[in-house]
Amino acid sequence: MIMEERGKKIIDGTGPLSSDDSWGKHMEFTSKALWSLSEVGGPRCCKRDAFLSFQKAIEHINKNYDVKLETSRIECCYSEKNEQCIKEKCPFYKKRKKKVAFICVHNSCRNQIAEALGKDLAADVFESYSAGTETKPKINQDAVRIMKELYGIDMEETRYSKLITDIPNPDVAISMGCNVGCPFIGRAFDDNWGLEDPTGKTDEEFKIIIKEIENQILQLRNIIEINF
């Protein structure tokens, strides 16, 4: 906060004996910055204090000077290294995203669609993965074609059929549906979406399943965002 205050003094050319209102404005900024620090509380964190002070300085400059400074979201990357970090109580704490795995026997259709939509619609809330207990040489070509038509997503560009051992251990494991047999993943599933396998069916039937997956992804996004 000292650096921010000195910077304002340089801008104004002011000091404690100035006769205009600039010194009062400096004290207004200082009091607001100190208040923001007090609201978060201790233990002290130099990075958090600096982030808060910079935010208040930018707010103050935008309000009182003929400039428009912009800020982006600040996320602290030092929390894991600081044993005294207050975690979620800090406004700059970077929460680890939940890892969600979409599982079915063959990682080629429904769970590939779920992974693609998860990355497209919920990447800010959770990380999406898909896998199976068996693999296919390539992703279902009807799924690839229809996903590109509906969402502009090219599932073949970065995705391929994967085994469960090829992905990180998930925080949330979801079965696509057991009409083709439930795979064993070494733990219980957190949810079973009970989706019909659209393989070999018409485009309209495919699109119905894809829409169901989209709705489930959006519901899951809300659940994780609210509860975690």
**212: pLDDT confidence band, cut at 50, 70 and 90?**
very high
Q: Given a cut of 80, is residue 180 above it in pLDDT? A: no
Which domains can be identified in the chain, with CATH numbers? 2-89 (no CATH), 98-227 (3.40.50.2300)
Q: What is the pLDDT of residue 67?
A: 80
Q: What is the pLDDT of residue 49?
A: 85
Before 91, cis peptide (omega within 30)?
no
Q: Given a cut of 70, is residue 10 above it in pLDDT? A: no
**146: pLDDT confidence band, cut at 50, 70 and 90?**
very high
Q: What is the pLDDT of residue 72?
A: 77
DSSP string across 22-67: HHHHHHHHHHHHHHHHHHH-SS--HHHHHHHHHHHHHHHHHHHSS-
Cα separation, 111 vs 169, whole angstroms: 16
More confident residue, 4 or 109: 109
Tens digits of per-residue pLDDT, 44-65? 888 888 888 888 888 888 888 8
